[in-house]
Structure 1
């Protein structure tokens, strides 16, 4: 499971011109699910995300977590994070989990993030054509792969 985490001052996702999810201050997370991801990836990654200390403390050091600053999350599914570009110019998405595998894991991640954060998060819509906009704060962008935890 790959997460691209962007610290934002604002972010929103629109589907067919309608706002589906929107936050002020927190993380915009792009989440890619692969075939062998499971609940242990979700448990580890959701705790890592909500505990990630990338918000400034009183001294201006990145020392506070999303939980500490009572930030928000906008979670977007993005199968293209598992693109393979080794051959040719057209990416292959063979490493991305099919919807029957990815959707339950995406929904489980929503529940885990809400539980760890202690509040509801905003989301996109799995498989929809979405327009995502954000104002990256810093900029701070971090990529975490649950397979690289050891």
Structure 2
């Protein structure tokens, strides 16, 4: 499971002209899932994300977590995070989990974030053509891969 975490001052997801998710200060999380991902990856990744100290304190030092700031979250599925670009110029997405595997894991991840954060998380729509807008704050962008835990 791979996540791109972006600290934002605002973010939204629009599908076919309709805004389906909209937040102010918080995180936009792009999530890519592979077949080998399992429940343990979900728990570890969610805990890591909600406790990352990437929000500024009163001294402008990144010392607060999402939990500390009560920030909002949007989670967007993005199979292209699992692209392989080793050969040629056309990315291969063979590592990305098919929907029958990815959807339950994606939904479980959203529920885990909600549980760890204690609030509702907004989402895009799995498999939809989404327009994602954000204002990256900092910019702060962090990539976490559960296959590189150690």
Quick check: TM above 0.5?
A: yes
CA distance in 1: counterparts of 2:69 and 2:117, whole angstroms: 11
Deviation at 1:4, TM superposition (A): 0.1
In the other structure, the counterpart of 2:127 is 127
CA distance in 2: counterparts of 1:63 and 1:86, whole angstroms: 37
CA distance in 2: counterparts of 1:16 and 1:77, whole angstroms: 17
Deviations 1:15-69 (A, max 9, x none): 0000011100000000000010000000000000000000001111000000100
In the other structure, the counterpart of 1:82 is 82
CA distance in 2: counterparts of 1:38 and 1:21, whole angstroms: 26
SS at match of 2:74: strand
CA distance in 2: counterparts of 1:87 and 1:149, whole angstroms: 26
CA distance in 2: counterparts of 1:78 and 1:127, whole angstroms: 8
CA distance in 1: counterparts of 2:12 and 2:57, whole angstroms: 26
In the other structure, the counterpart of 1:103 is 103
Alignment of 1:1-150 (within 5 A): 1-150=1-150
Q: Which runs of 5+ in 1 are unaligned?
A: none
Query: Moved runs in structure 1, 4+ residues, more than 3 A?
Result: none
Deviations 1:48-106 (A, max 9, x none): 00000000011110000001001010000000000011111111000000000000000
Q: Which runs of 5+ in 2 are unaligned?
A: none
SS at match of 2:25: strand
CA distance in 1: counterparts of 2:131 and 2:48, whole angstroms: 26
CA distance in 1: counterparts of 2:58 and 2:85, whole angstroms: 43
CA distance in 1: counterparts of 2:83 and 2:103, whole angstroms: 18
Q: How many residues align?
A: 150
SS at match of 2:58: coil
CA distance in 2: counterparts of 1:34 and 1:25, whole angstroms: 29
